[in-house]
């Protein structure tokens, strides 16, 4: 009888440890500033499901206040990218702003149905606001940005 009780307790402990380890792998991600050579404003990003679920569409609410740059209707874009640990872009999502907003004025934009790729143990989720470049060889100037780094 003592062996049965001991075995039951040991089994319960093992299940608890395995469940706790699984929960650590599902840790929510948080966004921080982008490491950029040119200073940009920090965006506030909220995700519908945190962490994102691979293979499912995700929603993003992005807000902030751009201190130096105006948002131009039809030109300024919201950019969302998932980048794997090797620097490969897994998802590139962009959406135009539908309203013009002066610098210094708070803004909010929502994106729905952003695809979530099959994610590796480590990835970067980047969110940016800016105007695309007319020159394909020149990177787009971003006015605001936020990054989430996930290390599994």
Kindly state the tokens that stand for 30: 């948080």
Q: Measured between alpha carbons, how far is 91 from 80 in angstroms, rounded to an integer? A: 8
pTM of the model: 0.78
Residue 43 counted as domain residue: yes
Residue 21 counted as domain residue: no
Helix (H) or strand (E) holding 15: helix 2-25
Residue 62 counted as domain residue: yes
The domain in which residue 131 lies consists of 29-151
CB 117 within 8 A of CB 91: yes
Q: Give how many domains the chain has, as a whole number.
A: 1
pLDDT single digits (tens) 108-148: 999 999 999 988 788 999 999 999 877 767 666 789 999 99
CB 92 within 8 A of CB 81: yes
Residue 107 counted as domain residue: yes
pLDDT single digits (tens) 21-69: 333 445 788 999 987 777 899 999 999 998 889 999 999 999 999 999 9
Residue 60 counted as domain residue: yes
pLDDT at 107: 97
Give the count of beta carbons closer than 10 Å to the beta carbon of residue 82. 25
Residue 139 counted as domain residue: yes
């Amino acid at each position: 009888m003592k062996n049965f009780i001991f075995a039951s307790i040991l089994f319960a402990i093992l299940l608890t440890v395995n469940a706790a380890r699984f929960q650590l792998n599902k840790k929510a991600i948080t966004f921080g500033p982008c490491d950029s050579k040119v200073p940009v404003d920090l965006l506030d990003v909220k995700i519908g499901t945190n962490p994102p679920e691979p293979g499912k569409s995700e929603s993003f609410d992005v807000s902030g206040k751009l201190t130096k740059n105006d948002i131009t209707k039809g030109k300024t874009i919201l950019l969302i990218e998932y980048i794997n640990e090797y620097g490969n872009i897994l998802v590139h999502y962009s959406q135009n702003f539908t309203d013009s907003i002066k610098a210094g004025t708070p803004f909010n934009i929502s994106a729905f149905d952003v695809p979530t790729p099959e994610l590796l143990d480590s990835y970067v989720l980047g969110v940016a606001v800016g105007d695309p470049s007319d020159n394909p060889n020149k990177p787009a100037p971003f006015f605001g940005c936020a990054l989430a780094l996930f290390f599994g």
